[in-house]
């Protein structure tokens, strides 16, 4: 009787499925979560790069002597970074707001020739756009758990005044 029980293979496939299903589901969900993270990171990096490029092509008059960025330009850079448009766009990522985007200006004193000759010893202005954005993961979104990841990106561009 014991021998007959050990040789019986009825239900073996169902048993294997029950044992492997959690592992397969975990792998599938981890793949989706990883892909969503990489996609979100790409969107944030691209947005910050676009914002810095826009800031770099803005007029010199929008950067004061102490390298303070004009408030209107700051808002435009934040909107462009977050939405891809200067006005009226929707956020590229859920819950990404303008206050997550930082716009700063610094002067590079080692550059005092060519286009930047008129700045003299003050140096050439360089705009830096950065963001620290915390988003809810797919796991958190579907399960209700508080599961978040933080994305950081930063880009610089020399102000060309074009």
Mean pLDDT, residues 21-25 taken together: 91
For the chain, the farthest-separated pair of C-alpha atoms sits apart, in whole angstroms, at 99
C-alpha of 119 from chain center = 33
pLDDT one-digit tens code per residue, 112-132 = 666 666 666 667 788 999 999
Handedness of CA 88, 57, 70, 129 (dihedral sign): positive
Paired strand residues for 153: 131
- Looking up tokens 């462009």, which residue turns up? 80
Domain limits, the chain: 8-158
- Identify the band that residue 50 occupies on the pLDDT scale cut at 50, 70 and 90: very high
CA 25 – CA 57 distance, rounded (Å): 48
- Identify the band that residue 39 occupies on the pLDDT scale cut at 50, 70 and 90: very high
Predicted TM-score (pTM) of this structure: 0.79
pLDDT one-digit tens code per residue, 60-108 = 888 877 778 888 999 999 999 999 998 888 999 988 999 999 999 888 7
Burial class (CB in 10 A: 0-12, 13-18, 19+), 67: middle
pLDDT value of residue 114: 65
pLDDT value of residue 118: 65
Alpha-carbon separation of residue 47 from 27, 30, 125 (angstroms): 30, 26, 21
């Amino acid at each position: 009787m014991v021998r007959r029980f050990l040789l019986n293979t009825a239900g073996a496939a169902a048993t294997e499925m029950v044992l492997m299903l959690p592992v397969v589901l975990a792998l599938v969900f981890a793949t989706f979560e990883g892909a969503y993270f990489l996609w979100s990171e790409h969107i944030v990096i691209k947005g910050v790069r676009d914002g810095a490029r826009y800031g770099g092509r803005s007029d010199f008059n929008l950067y004061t002597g102490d390298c303070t960025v004009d408030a209107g330009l700051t808002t435009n850079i934040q909107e462009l970074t977050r939405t891809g448009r200067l006005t009226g766009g929707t956020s590229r990522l859920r819950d990404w707001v303008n206050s997550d985007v930082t716009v700063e200006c610094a002067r590079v004193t080692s550059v005092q020739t060519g286009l930047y000759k008129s700045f003299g010893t003050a140096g050439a202005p360089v705009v830096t756009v950065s963001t620290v954005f915390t988003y809810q993961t797919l796991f958190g979104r579907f399960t209700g758990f508080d599961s978040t990841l933080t994305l950081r990106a930063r880009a610089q561009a020399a102000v060309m005044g074009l």
